[in-house]
Amino acid sequence: AFGLLLLLGYAFSWIGALIGLSVRTPEAATSGGLIWLFPVTFISNAFVDSSRMTPWLQTIADWNPFSATVQACRELFGNPGVTQSGAWPMEHPVAASIIYSVLIVVLFRTLAVRKYRSATA
């Protein structure tokens, strides 16, 4: 579970790196790093069980990478809770968490490195 949390943090750090490379001032980098993080965090099952959400919001929450990691950690720490969702990431949260994190790393690392190379060239 700790490894999944570290992997997700590493993946999100590449999103932050891309944002940092895309803006001009440190203040913009700070605010830009938080603007995307709040919706991802709050539209997840970290604070509220997704079965209590409206159907359209539940679908978003169930397919959220943050939700998959939260659910995987709950299962691995021995507190799975009740998941009444039929969404694949909620039924296989460990695999979904790894897949989401690796995809985020591959995508945003590629974009950040490309942005860095174009800025230094």
Residue count (the chain): 121
Question: 27: pLDDT confidence band, cut at 50, 70 and 90?
Answer: confident
Q: How far is residue 40's CA from residue 61's CA, in Å, rounded to a whole number?
A: 9
State the residue range of the domain holding 14.
2-120
Question: 60: pLDDT confidence band, cut at 50, 70 and 90?
Answer: very high
Q: What is the model's pLDDT at position 24?
A: 87
Higher-pLDDT residue of 106 and 46 is 106
Q: What is the model's pLDDT at position 79?
A: 84
Q: What's the total number of domains in the chain?
A: 1
| Of 64, 93, 87, nearest in space to 4 by CA | 93
Q: What is the model's pLDDT at position 32?
A: 82
Q: How far is residue 5's CA from residue 66's CA, in Å, rounded to a whole number?
A: 10
Mean pLDDT rounded to a whole number for the chain: 91
Flag whether pLDDT at 39 surpasses 90. no
Question: 80: pLDDT confidence band, cut at 50, 70 and 90?
Answer: confident
Instruction: Please state, in angstroms and as integers, the Cα–Cα distance from residue 96 to each residue in 2, 41, 76, following that order.
Output: 15, 17, 14
Q: Which residues contact 69 (CB under 8 A, 6 or more apart)?
A: 4, 5, 8, 93, 97, 100, 101
